Amino acid sequence: MKINGEAEENQNEASKNRLPVYSDEAKNRMDNIYVADSEEKIAYLTFDDGPSSKITPQILEILERENIKATFFVLGSRVELLPDLVKQEYEAGHYIANHGYSHVYTSVYASPNSVFDEYNTTEKAIQNAIGNENYSSHIFRFPGGSEGGKYANVKNEAKGILEQNNICYINWNALTNDAVGKPTKESLVADLKSTANGKNRIVVLMHDTGTKQLTVDTLPEVIEYLRSEGYVFKNFYDIMY
């Protein structure tokens, strides 16, 4: 059910003034985000690699229309180019999380400390964009995911550095595969259905880079399907409080 008028305005005002809070309890909630301790089905929509001037505004429009708060894992280099879009995301009540600065693996994973450096540079860019030097996302998504691959050892060491600095990290357990090959609307929805099947808690991976018009076109169907399956939509403010 949509919240209209003054109630929606009050909700947005409250969201944009909330700062993520790191605590042992918040870390425990993040570590156990996929654990279904009740029958409630929860979907966290997440968008990586933005913002972009073409795609991000369209996604924001859809989310506003559907009264859904999502989580944007932004790149610092993109934040610096389009700070007003990040501020728009933040003021609409979406969670601004950290995806590093460059997304260039050889730079991000040059060393464990370079991961932390990219995180810090991106945090500063976010603070400048939203006009709040007290904002700390406390959440990082490793480019390419936190597990395995060529840079597995660097990632594992970086996890320790992040944890020592009150930073959680999160992957995903459902996705549309909008970044793979030459997808179609049908394939995106099919992949979302197959990867979400049987799960009461899902973190859905999508992207809002400038080439992802198909993501925009498919998003209403993704939302409709998840609602039909009984999911409610939340963002990471419901974890980091």
What pLDDT score does 8 carry?
47
**DSSP annotation string for 159-176:** HHHHHHTT-EE---SEE-
Q: Write down the pLDDT at residue 140.
A: 98
Q: Spell out the residues 6+ positions from residue 13 whose beta carbon is closer than 8 angstroms to its own.
A: none
Determine the residue type at 129: A
Q: Which of 204, 171, 169 is nearest to 42 (CA)?
A: 204
- 119 phi/psi in degrees, rounded to 5: -60, -50
Domain boundaries, given as residue ranges, for the chain: 38-238
List per-residue pLDDT tens for the chain, 241 residues long: 344 445 445 444 445 468 999 999 999 999 999 997 778 999 999 999 999 999 999 999 999 999 999 999 999 999 999 999 999 999 999 999 999 999 999 999 999 999 999 999 999 999 999 999 999 999 999 999 999 999 999 999 999 999 999 999 999 999 999 999 899 999 999 999 999 999 999 999 999 999 999 999 999 999 999 999 999 999 999 999 9
pTM beyond 0.85, yes or no: yes
Question: How far apart are alpha carbons 216 and 181 in whole angstroms?
Answer: 17
> String of b and e for 116-141 (b: at least 16 CB within 10 Å)?
bbbbebbbebbbbbbeeeebbbbbbb
What H or E segment, with its residue span, contains residue 27? Answer: helix 24-31
> What pLDDT sits at residue 9?
52
For the record, the structure tokens of 158 come out as 């970086």
For position 17, what pLDDT does the model report?
60
CATH architecture entry for 38-238: Alpha-Beta Barrel (3.20)
Residue 11's pLDDT is 43
Q: Which tokens in the block code for residue 162?
A: 């992040």
Q: Reduce the DSSP state of residue 202 to 3 states and report it.
A: strand
Give the amino acid at 143: P
What's the confidence (pLDDT) of residue 37?
74
User: What would you measure as the largest C-alpha separation in the chain, in angstroms?
Assistant: 51
| Cβ neighbourhood burial of 91 (10 Å; 0-12, 13-18, 19+) | middle
- Report the C-alpha gap between 66 and 218 in whole angstroms: 14
Q: Which helix (H) or strand (E) holds 207?
A: strand 201-207
Residues 6 or more apart in contact with residue 62 via CB below 8 angstroms: 216, 219, 220, 223
Residues known to be catalytic: 48, 207
